[in-house]
Structures are given as C-alpha cells and as structure tokens.
Structure 1
C-alpha cells in the first residue's frame, strides 16, 4: 500500500493535469480563512508548493489539496543566513484575541518522511504578530509528533504549558491525520486551548495562552526546518527532502463548522 502511494505521488508530478494553479485556486472548505499567502521567507521553487487536484488517494476530502516539498537548500530571505529552510502558507487575516475559535486541518506525511533531529521540523504553528511569539504548534522530536503551547515573556524566553507527544513518526507516515484546535487566545485567566487528533481530545490548557490581548494570532502551515547545520554537522550530509500534503484547512465558530467527517 505504501509503495502504491509513492507511485501515485510520482505520477502526480509526471502528469500536469493533476497540478492546479496555486495562483487561481483557493483551498477547499477553508471556512473563514479565505486565501493563504506564501510566507515571505519561503523558498521560491517550482516544486515547493503546489495545489494538487488528484489522484484521489492524495486527497483527504473534496477536489484539491496542498502539497509542500522542501529539499536541501530550499530557503528564502533571511532564512538562508539564519540556518533555516521552509515552504509555508500563512493566514493573513488573523484571529482576534479573546474570541472563541475552532480550527481544523488534515495532514499526510510522505511514506518515507525522514527524522532529521537535531534539526527541528515544524508542521504547523500559531503565532502572535507583530511580536512574533509562537504560541502553539505541531513539531517532531524523539521520533514522534507533539503538540505544544508556550507562553512568551518580554525577554524572549518561553514556558511550555503543553508539550504533548501524540503519535510516533513511524505510525504517522503515509496516512491522514485530522487535527482540531479549540481556543480562546487570551492573556488572562479566561484563556483556553484544546487539541484534538482524529476527533479525540489529546491535550488541554486553561488560563493564559498568548502574549497579550492586543495582537492577532495567525496560523501558518507547511514544512519549516530550523538549525539545519546541526544535521549536516552530525552526518556530513545535507538535510534530506521532506514532503507532506495538507487538506481542509478550516477556521470556524463551532466544531461542526470545521470537523471533517470520518
């Protein structure tokens, strides 16, 4: 089955009808997100970001999905000087603090998605702008995926309120995983954050979850790699290629407005 999926992916690159124009199409079922923009420091390559319209095995639901593909040296802007590589899309509309929000997205890692520690891999993050505090997200460590929420201080230091492993990398490869986040992005005691995987509650925090109640929280998704030189220093090789597919990236007012049917 995994070999078949890999063959299907190679076919999606070989036959141009499967690739839709990233400039002319919006994502399926995006809820209140609307369109997403390329991260200003994302690598500008032909392979890095595409909207695929098939084959069906690479779509979670609907007619289109996002394909992200990061290869050695894929960086842009200051990332090239700051030891980072990425291809990400960013929600430019933002979410207001102290309002209740539901978010959902589906992720499918490549069958051979590599573990690249001590280089970091981030697969989605909520950030408060313009301060730049990364308040929550999904990363890879200890050969598994984990969800985190961290509080940023004025001096730039962060305290983790949630640091929850939820699936091994081996189990995550080559399958769809459905995520949901329910939040009130508040810097006060009324804040909360719930994280769901495949419809099941995995982690929760009650209390302050963001830096302040002034700045909006934006969502970005794709593949972001930091401290790239650590992998190269340990192995003598460039960081290997990583690719993943995202589908049904949604934001709404209720769980029912974003949750995918399983």
Structure 2
C-alpha cells in the first residue's frame, strides 16, 4: 500500500516515525497514509536542511501568499537569485544557489514525487542553466537526476531532465520554456531507485519521460538527497560572454513524496 509521506517532508521508510538528516532537526511525523504537515501554520514548510553554500541575501527565500489565485496551497515558497548571489566556495566555482534539502530515495526503493512550480513570465528566459530540483548521491560519478531550465542565449529555451546512466548522461526535453513560464506546472515523477531502475515523469498530466536506467550508484550509504529551489551553474562563463546574470525567481506550492 502506498503511503503519502510529508507535505514538504520526506521519511526513510513506509512506517518510519522520525526523520533525521545531518544538519536537520529530527522530527516525529508518523501517520497511516494521511498527508503529514511539518511545522506550525506559521512555518508550514517544515524543518528542511539549508545548503551550506546558499545565498545569504534576505530576498533569497520567503513564504508569501498565493498571488495567482490558482495554486494548490494558500502560501507559496519564493526563491530568488540575482547577479552575484553566491555563498562559500560557489563564489570560486561559477555557481549560485538557494536550495532546501531532505532525504530523496534509498537503494531498491520505489517512490513517487509531485512538485508544483511557477516561473514568472516577466523574467528573461535566457541565462545560466538553472536547476529547479535535483537528486544528489554523494560519491556517485554523476548527479542521478536534475530538472533544469536551459537558458544561455539560445533562440529556443527548454525545460529538460538530465540523468545519469551506467555509461554517462542523457538529456530529455520536457517542454519549451515559453510554454511553462507564467503558469503553474506540476511534475509527477515515479522512480525505482536501483541498479536497474527507471524514471517515469508526467508534466501537467502528459508523459514526458519513460526511461529504464541505473538510478542509484550504491555510494554514500545507498541513499540520495533531494534538493529544490534555484541552482545556477556556469555563472562566470555566462558573465564573461554576455554580461550581467539575469535575476531568476521561482515559486513552489507543492513538494511531496509517496512511498
């Protein structure tokens, strides 16, 4: 029987009652298949771990009312990165980010995820490649899965999934960026985390990814960490070629996991 675990909160097993992650406060969540809210109404998005290299700007993360009137929740998480917003060694390695993290998946686990996001249409589509969520397995040769908004200065920009395989990496275009900006979008992702696993994804109800591949590499305790928010790579290169990095803003109304 599938169990819905954690509105904005993930647990390690179908009947687990405690979440514990390095840098994150343990929290009793328990439940019998019901949607579990973490945190008080004032902080409804739970005790997530913040990446140590996050931007320290006071506008980088906030919780705001639903200004669209069509979100799946009355409050939204807002992330923003501007030119020069970097932290720690990211400032020397061409990166900028503000990400929240929690347990993503474990070896031989079947899990589903639902992520609803809104990219305002008043921002430039071009810019450094921007990840809106990713699964990171420490020690693996590649990041198992990331979903990016492909920017740069291309005439047509794409939302795409990039994932590791046993021999390298593959990219799959999910939608034109022009078709997803200025509206709510939901990615429903079904994954078998295994040596012979799979990724299956729907974007707004339409199948966009169906791939049998290696999804877990068996490193770092056979688990991966889920990141969501904003991560921009190749920032220095973009700046050298095109000038100032454009501001990027995203809103999330739902981040859920089912096991």
Specify which structure has the higher proportion of strand: 2
Q: Measure, in 2, the Cα distance between the counterparts of 1:23 and 1:113.
A: 30
Of 173, 178, 181, 2:186 maps to 178
Residue pair 2:76, 2:253 contacting (<8 A) in 1 also: yes
Residue pair 1:94, 1:219 contacting (<8 A) in 2 also: yes
Within a 5 Å distance, the mapping from 1:1-262 to structure 2 comes to 25-27=43-45, 35-55=47-67, 57=68, 60-91=71-102, 93-117=103-127, 119-129=128-138, 131=140, 133-141=142-150, 142-151=156-165, 159-161=168-170, 163-187=171-195, 189=196, 191-212=197-218, 214-235=221-242, 237-253=243-259
| TM-score where L is the length of structure 1 | 0.75
Residue pair 2:159, 2:176 contacting (<8 A) in 1 also: yes
Q: Measure, in 2, the Cα distance between the counterparts of 1:59 and 1:50.
A: 19
Specify which structure has the higher proportion of helix: 1
Aligned residues: 215
Structure 1: gaps spanning 5 or more residues: 1-20, 28-33, 153-157, 254-262
Give CA-to-partner distance per residue, 1:75-120, whole Å, 9 cap, x none: 10110111111111111x3421111101011010011232345x32
Q: Measure, in 1, the Cα distance between the counterparts of 2:44 and 2:135.
A: 21
Residue pair 1:151, 1:211 contacting (<8 A) in 2 also: no
Q: Measure, in 1, the Cα distance between the counterparts of 2:52 and 2:141.
A: 14
The 1:207–1:146 alpha-carbon spacing in structure 2 relative to 1, beyond 3 Å, is closer
